[in-house]
Chains A and B, each alone.
Chain A
Amino acid sequence: MSKFNPEQRFIVTGASSGIGESVAILLNGLGASVVAVARNAERLEAMRAKCAHPENVFIELKDLAEDAGGLPAYLKSLKDKYGKFQGFAYCAGALEVKPLQLLAYSEMSKLFDVNYFAPVMMAKGFADRRINNGAGSAGVVISSIASFVSARAMATYSGSKAALAASIKSAAREMAGAGVRLNLLSPTDIDTPMAKMDPPAALREANYPFGLGKPEDVANFVAFLLSADARWITAQNYIIDCASF
């Protein structure tokens, strides 16, 4: 089954590891062209080496958080280089586990740059009619279960993901008029490099009857939401989980 063709280009951010890497490999395997964005060239090359059609994977180095305000212009430059985009998957993000007494405004602000401002500016850039393919184009933004459920030491992270979900849904309503779709996915505990943190995986796993999630578990849902099969779905935020809470 091939859902996409090489003329359908997708921007995948955070494509060098974890969910983003898995999304890039899957979309490419399903026939699409992928513009893979991340900071680390070596890991992007390693990702491309795992792709079924590496000739349709294009590597772009970029620190999204450092230039959140410039992302609409950045998307325009990518469009000038590659052509219009069928969609994007924003999979870049950072996790911060900090109790209240350790919260520092400067660090909170930095986390918001990558988890909130950058994806919202990405959506803004993609909404431009000169950037996307029009009706049928779609974006997926990775949020987190933290956008639904609170946990200790997650004030900043939860806040950034909940704010993200709210803003992306608003953006989706604006884009709906043009037939462009925008959705969020909120996974619980996916075993990625980003989630390598205390408590250790063994302890985390106790809550998950099917074990921790794999990046592919999220990537499959991303590919569905970006495909024509999801034509009736927009402005939604889906939890991906296996009875962990």
Chain B
Amino acid sequence: MTKDEFLTQLQDVLQRDDAVNQGDTLADYDEWDSLSKMAVMAFFDKNFGIKVTLNEIGKLQTVEDLIKLAKL
């Protein structure tokens, strides 16, 4: 998966009308709630075989952090 593909898929996982950008702060998204975090956990497991806890996801601050987690 490329970075661009990751950003597009993340937009879908978060059900956002607006694009997701690398520099965005997650806390600025209205969509960044506990259910979205669970959806992101499942997204990482399914696409990258990476199992993260809700706690770990909660510590991430930016979209960039998520990209790093995916090792892209």
> Bound complex: CA of A177 vs CA of B17, how far in Å?
18
Contact with A along B13-44 (1 / 0, CB 8 A): 00111000000000000010101000000000
Interface centre among A128, A130, A174, A177 (most CB of B within 10 A): A130
Shortest C-beta distance, A201 to chain B (Å), equals 46
Interface centre among B15, B16, B17 (most CB of A within 10 A): B15
On whether the beta carbons of B15 and A128 are closer than 8 Å, the reply is: yes
Number of A interface residues, CB 8 Å? 5
Of A128, A130, A177, which contacts B33 at CB under 8 A?
A: A177
Number of B interface residues, CB 8 Å? 6
Chain A residues with CB under 8 Å of B31's CB are 129
Chain B residues with CB under 8 Å of A177's CB are 33, 35
On whether the beta carbons of A130 and B35 are closer than 8 Å, the reply is: no
* CB nearest neighbor in A for B38: A174
Chain A residues with CB under 8 Å of B15's CB are 128-130
Contact with A along B30-67 (1 / 0, CB 8 A): 01010100000000000000000000000000000000
> Bound complex: CA of A229 vs CA of B15, how far in Å?
28
Shortest C-beta distance, B27 to chain A (Å), equals 16
Interface centre among A128, A129, A174 (most CB of B within 10 A): A129
On whether the beta carbons of A129 and B33 are closer than 8 Å, the reply is: no
Chain B residues with CB under 8 Å of A130's CB are 15-17
Shortest C-beta distance, B14 to chain A (Å), equals 8
Contact with B along A15-51 (1 / 0, CB 8 A): 0000000000000000000000000000000000000
Chain B residues with CB under 8 Å of A128's CB are 15
* CB nearest neighbor in A for B11: A130
> Bound complex: CA of A174 vs CA of B15, how far in Å?
14
> Bound complex: CA of A128 vs CA of B33, how far in Å?
14
Chain A residues with CB under 8 Å of B35's CB are 174, 177
Chain A residues with CB under 8 Å of B33's CB are 177
Shortest C-beta distance, B36 to chain A (Å), equals 10
> Bound complex: CA of A174 vs CA of B36, how far in Å?
11
Shortest C-beta distance, B40 to chain A (Å), equals 15
Shortest C-beta distance, A134 to chain B (Å), equals 9
11 contacts between A and B (CB under 8 A): A128-B15, A129-B15, A129-B16, A129-B17, A129-B31, A130-B15, A130-B16, A130-B17, A174-B35, A177-B33, A177-B35
9 tightest CB-CB pairs across the interface, nearest first? A129-B15, A128-B15, A130-B17, A130-B15, A174-B35, A177-B33, A129-B31, A177-B35, A129-B16
